[in-house]
Amino acid sequence: MCPDSPPPQAPDQSPPDREVLSAGDISRALRRIAHEIVERNKGAGNVVLLGIPSRGVELARRLGALIADIEGSEVPVGSLDVTMYRDDLRGRPTKTPHQTHFPSTGVDDRVVVLVDDVLYSGRTVRAALDALADYGRPRAVRLAVLVDRGHRELPIRADHVGKNLPTSHAERVTVRLTGYDDVDDSVTIARAER
């Protein structure tokens, strides 16, 4: 789970965050990413989308539907929980892991596109790569994120980015998605609470 992502909740009454992506922006960004994935792989016949819980799963589901519209055939979509592979479990509240679900196609010799909402330090993606290696051997692994906020701590980059968002460490990026948060899609940025 991306550390930036809060649990689902109704918007609170604190001062409003600054919206950096609206529902329309998110829709357009995902459509572009879907086209990029198809173009990059010369179709989608060998592609498997794996969302990283929690909101990455919803984004992967949407990307799968968009690619199916483009290509006219279903794309396998699953989820990959990385909780047990994180390197920052110590000294943090214990997290209950989400479900890992792999499509029946498996991942061996497939192009796996990992999907997450926010790319920040890169540690979630590193954990996902470790987890994936325990499940099989994909032909290639790529990364699609809705927002890249920078501040990488590992040599990891995204192949498909909805929006590059320059931020400071003192800011919090919040992604909300209909279907997970029960509110309209948005990406907002705010000063993190001290």
Partner 1 sequence: MTRHLLSVSDLDDDALRSVLTTAAQMHDVQHRAVKKLPTLRGRTVINLFFEDSTRTRSSFEIAGKWMSADTINITGKGSSASKGESLRDTVRTIAAMGVDAIVMRHQASGAAQQVAGWFDESGVATSVLNAGDGTHEHPTQALLDAYTLEQRLGPLAGKRIAIVGDVTHSRVFRSNVLALPRLGAHVTVVAPPTLMPSGVASWAAADGFALSDDLDEVIDSGVDALMMLRVQRERMAGGFFPTPREYTVGYGLTRDRLATLTRRNPEAVICHPGPMNRGLEIAADAADAASSLVLDQVSAGVAVRMSVLYHLLASDGIVEGSLA
The secondary structure of 76-100 as a DSSP string is -EEE---GGG-S--TTSPPPPP---
Determine, following the binding rule CB under 8 A, whether residue 12 of this chain makes contact with partner 1.
no
CB 79 to partner 1: min, Å? 11
Quick one: which of 24, 134, 170, 193 contacts partner 1 (CB under 8 A)? 134
Determine, following the binding rule CB under 8 A, whether residue 15 of this chain makes contact with partner 1.
no
Give the C-alpha separation, 31 to 44, whole Å: 14
The secondary structure of 135-170 as a DSSP string is H---SEEEEEEEEE----SSS---SEEEEE----TT
Give the C-alpha separation, 187 to 174, whole Å: 6
Of the two residues 11 and 102, which places its CB atom closer to partner 1 in the complex? 102
Site string for partner 1, 17-56 (x = CB under 8 A): ----------------------------------------
CB 130 to partner 1: min, Å? 7
Determine, following the binding rule CB under 8 A, whether residue 7 of this chain makes contact with partner 1.
no
Quick one: which of 27, 41, 46, 100 contacts partner 1 (CB under 8 A)? 100
Size of the site for partner 1 (CB under 8 A): 17
Give the C-alpha separation, 172 to 55, whole Å: 16
CB 172 to partner 1: min, Å? 19
Q: Is the distance from CB of 82 to CB of 88 less than 8 angstroms?
A: no
CB 134 to partner 1: min, Å? 4
Candidate segments 21-29, 57-65, 94-102, 161-169, binder of partner 1 by CB under 8 A: 94-102
Quick one: which of 90, 155, 170, 194 contacts partner 1 (CB under 8 A)? 90
Of the two residues 135 and 172, which places its CB atom closer to partner 1 in the complex? 135
Q: Is the distance from CB of 68 to CB of 34 less than 8 angstroms?
A: no
Determine, following the binding rule CB under 8 A, whether residue 85 of this chain makes contact with partner 1.
yes
* AA letter at 24: G
Determine, following the binding rule CB under 8 A, whether residue 81 of this chain makes contact with partner 1.
yes
186-191/171-176 β-pairing: antiparallel
Cβ neighbours of residue 165 closer than 8 Å, sequence gap 6 or more? 20, 147, 148, 149, 150, 173, 187, 189
